[in-house]
Amino acid sequence: MGGNALKHLAPVRLTSAEVIDLVHHLHRNWQLVDHRPLYLVPWVAEKQDHGDIDVICEAPPETVTRFAAMVGADVAAISRNDAVLSVPVPLPWDAEAASPRICQVDFICCAPEDATATRFFYAGGDFGMLLGRVAAWNGLVFGMDGLRYRADRDVAWQSDVPLTAQPNDILSALGYAAVLPWFDTYDRLWRYVLSSPLAGPWMFMPAATNHENRSRDKQRRKVGDFQDWLTENFLDGVEPPAPRRTPAGARDWVRDHFPMVDIDAALRLQEARFTYAKLRTRLLGMGAVAEVIGPDHAPEVMGEIIHAMQALLPPKAEREAALADPMRWADMIRLARAAAAAVAAGRGIATREATPVPAFVAAP
């Protein structure tokens, strides 16, 4: 965002009044391709010009591409980053010009059920990103889908656990007033972000962020302004007084603030699914090879057979579907053992008679 995605096309900067005019033009035409409205992401009132325009749409990227072509954008020049499409929209008031200028319009696509959380995340300026830093320091994730417990990165089977997508609940949990103030200046936005007891100025300084965030921050001028503002206004408060909240501490916090989520049960289910997935993978890999040639061969030999036999097996999605079906479980294991036997025979490795196929075990 910020106009960087299409900078090679030299998009023009627009005044706030021009943004409103262009969005009215887009709204009128959007109705011709989709009945759901576009949502213009608000900005801090003191911002005078814009390198891009951010709009949220409850439609898939394919709809945005079709719409872009209809309003005269060069579809081949669209830059896509996951669910965000940066579109070079020609300015309608330049329609009679020989070479109409373009501006960058970022279409943020989301499912209708995620629209409330997405609009809240983009509530103005760098609002969502800054609250995300507060959440991250406290072992949480705040994003376009709401608030989540951040998985312990040292535990292979853990993934984030959703807590809530409701804006009021997110504000309350993170220690903010229930009503967002009027963000007429960046100073007011920044002071609001720091108003929570969970927030501190050190959270937003380069030393407290990872490489990815530091690289992203360098491309956002207002983040640098915020860091300068913090240094000027909190001379003694830009060093962290304590480390980030640990995963164990974050789980305690979730138990206190979101007892209805049952974080412990959610993580136990994740572990069970991870263990089950490993079991299924082993049955069609190391388990099948061990049954065919015995378990005493060198790991390198067995690994080579596992790698080579993949070409003889159905695609991964089909294998997963088969192992989830009691009627196909045994057949898939037999197929894996046959593939292992074929590879082993081709390499001159003696095979043995396979043991019976284990009975189906229901997935947790």
- Contact predicate 16/50, CB 8 Å: yes
The per-residue pLDDT for 64 is 96
* Domain limits, the chain: 7-109, 124-257, 263-346
Ramachandran angles phi, psi of 144, nearest 5°: -65, -15
286-308 burial code (b ≥16 CB/10 A, e <16): bbbbbbbbeeebeeeebeebbeb
Chain segment 230-264, per-residue pLDDT in tens: 988 886 767 777 788 999 999 999 999 999 999 99
β-strands 140-143, 146-149: how paired? antiparallel
Chain segment 201-213, per-residue pLDDT in tens: 988 887 777 767 7
The per-residue pLDDT for 188 is 94
- Contact predicate 234/120, CB 8 Å: no
- What residues in the chain have per-residue pLDDT under 50? 358-364
pTM of whole model > 0.85? Answer: no
Mean pLDDT taken over the chain: 88
CA distance 227 to 229: 5
The per-residue pLDDT for 361 is 39
The per-residue pLDDT for 316 is 85
CA distance 336 to 343: 11
User: Can you tell me whether residue 335 is helix, strand or coil?
Assistant: helix
- Contact predicate 106/82, CB 8 Å: no
The per-residue pLDDT for 186 is 94
The per-residue pLDDT for 1 is 52
CATH number, domain 7-109: 3.30.460.10
